[in-house]
Chains A and B, each alone.
Chain A
Amino acid sequence: MAVLSKVLVFVTGDAQADRVVPPTGFTARLTGLAAGSMAFLAVFALALSLASGRLADRWSDALAQSSTIRISATEDQMDAQVLAVLEVLATTPGVLEARPLSDDEQNTLLEPWFGPDLPLDDLPIPRLIEVIEDAGGFDATGLRNRLAGEAPGAVLDDHTKWREPLVAAAGRLRSLGYLAMLVITATTAIIITLAANAALAANAQVIRVLRLVGARDAYIARAFVRRYTLRTLTGAAAGTALGLGAVALLPGGDPAGGFLTGLGFQGAHWLWPLLIPLLAALVAFAATRMTALATLKERS
């Protein structure tokens, strides 16, 4: 409660104390604009991190539980091979469910490459069997050996080859997003520090007069800290709102679009960007306070 009360006093401020430092219109506008731009970028960095995280989770969790068996055989052998594979799978520990994909499902898979009117019956297309593992999974090497014996035309693809690099890539993309947010935070701190330094230098005479009449360093620092914190909060709030609007206008999630169309926020993730203006204000508060107190100490 004490902290909340201090925050309230800080935000509501003291009108007569605020007037002591003259308004610096140009610096104020630049600070707000810089904070807004940084917040706008932060929204996208956050969206990228969260979307990459979702992708990495999906690829590492959901896809890790499924495998495919591809059966290449002549037309008269195909049904027998499918039956043999299903029998092998039925007695394989760790297999939760196995089913051959229907013609329609295979058509859907091939449609992006061959178009909608694919004459599946006239083409020597392999049959696909989807295998769902239980939590413990199955022994892939053992299953391959058994398939080689029972159904020579069957090849097990447990997705490991392409899944692992994709999970790693998504994980790196997520880290890159977080790194981008760190860089944005540091840049915000640097911009606010430079702006506060400039304001303190421009107000050297004001500081001198305030000291002359008995102002403490904390009082002088507070006048600058409050101003820059509120400017940053306002600018960052505007930048975040614009960023959220821009993200909302991105195309919605579409399986055909893959990762790029899922680059937004989902569900409760829409609440995370609301922390950006608060974080920016916190950074501005710390940066301006440190700068002001250091400058005042230097000039004493």
Chain B
Amino acid sequence: MIELEEVTYGYGAGTLLSGISLKLAPGSFHFLTGPSGSGKTTLLKLCYGDLVAGQGRVALFGQDVRNMDRDDVALARRRVGVVHQDCQFLDHLSVAENVTLPVIVAGRAASGVESDLDDLLGWVGLSTQKEALPPELSGGERQRAALARAVIMSPDVILADEPTGNVDWEMSLRLLTLLVELNRMGKTVMIATHDMNLIRQAKAQVAVRVLRISNQRLQLAGADL
């Protein structure tokens, strides 16, 4: 699905990530952890082609990102659902319109997925907020709406960047449950988080692989949790 080989990435003169190798196999569940500023978000961005590695190789669904033009990257992103910590909504559109945005930009009629949309909003518990605007939602509701948008195209991979960063523990568990459900449906999931309790909770429900970024490198970090 997504493969990184000896990837190095830096901002300006400094190196943030070095010699990163990672393979997201179909149906796997990964946690990506590490201190703030260690490069978790950068690594996620490399995984969906938002950034291009300085060195090494990143392959999205078998295609080397360096050989992909912007249209190819756009098409690949339709197979990757991304949940950002700040959600990235269009505030002038309703929750329903934001959730169906990936369908609209793919050139399909939103009316064709109306029943899917209702199911999806019911699944994330936002049926009554369908016509609300994003600024009217709470932090947890925004994260769930972002998750609904990430999965409406039934992507192969779901990448979530600190999805529980702005919500209370109860809402974190609710979001985790949704992501675990998606993984049980066969979706590949990777969550960047520094919340160790969330990782422990996930390990109790599903087989997860925990990776840690430390000193620019990626290490397996499951044993000490």
Contacts and interface: CB of A to CB of B under 8 A. Distances in A.
B204 interface: no
Contact of B90 (A22, A216, A296): A22
Given A208-B88, A210-B105, 9 more contacts: A16-B109, A20-B104, A210-B101, A212-B50, A212-B88, A214-B106, A214-B153, A215-B105, A216-B71
A20 B71 contact: no
A19 B98 CA distance: 11
Contacts of A159: none
Given A16-B110, A19-B93, A214 B105 contact: yes
Interface of B: 50, 70-71, 74-75, 77-78, 82, 84, 88-90, 92-93, 97, 101-102, 104-107, 109-110, 149, 153
B102 A214 contact: yes
Nearest to A217: B70
Interface string A213-233: 111111100000000000000
7 closest Cβ contacts across the A-B interface? A215-B105, A214-B78, A214-B77, A213-B102, A22-B92, A216-B74, A209-B88
Interface string A271-299: 00000000000000000000000001100
A20 B90 contact: yes
B61 to A, nearest CB: 13
Interface residues of A, number: 23
A17 interface: yes
B201 to A, nearest CB: 28
A19 B71 contact: no
Contact of B70 (A23, A208, A210, A300): A300
A212 B77 contact: yes
15 contacts: A17-B105, A19-B93, A209-B89, A209-B101, A211-B77, A212-B50, A213-B77, A213-B78, A213-B102, A214-B75, A214-B77, A214-B78, A216-B105, A217-B71, A218-B71
Interface in A17-40: 17, 19-20, 22-23
Nearest to A23: B92
Given A16-B110, A19-B97, A300-B70, A213 B105 contact: yes
A216 B109 CA distance: 17
A219 B90 contact: no
Interface centre among B74, B77, B78 (most CB of A within 10 A): B74
Contacts of A296: 70
A214 B101 CA distance: 9
Contacts of B74: 211, 214-217
B113 to A, nearest CB: 12
A300 B82 CA distance: 18
A163 to B, nearest CB: 63
A10 to B, nearest CB: 15
A215 B101 CA distance: 9
Contacts of B104: 16-17, 20
B99 to A, nearest CB: 10
Which of A17, A206, A213, A215: most chain B CB closer than 10 A? A213
A212 B50 CA distance: 8
Nearest to B76: A214
B184 to A, nearest CB: 24
Contacts of B101: 20, 209-210, 213
Nearest to A209: B88
A219 B70 contact: no
Nearest to B102: A213
Nearest to B98: A209
Contacts of B105: 17, 20, 210, 213-216, 219
A213 B149 contact: yes
A2 B88 CA distance: 38
A205 B50 CA distance: 14
B58 to A, nearest CB: 16
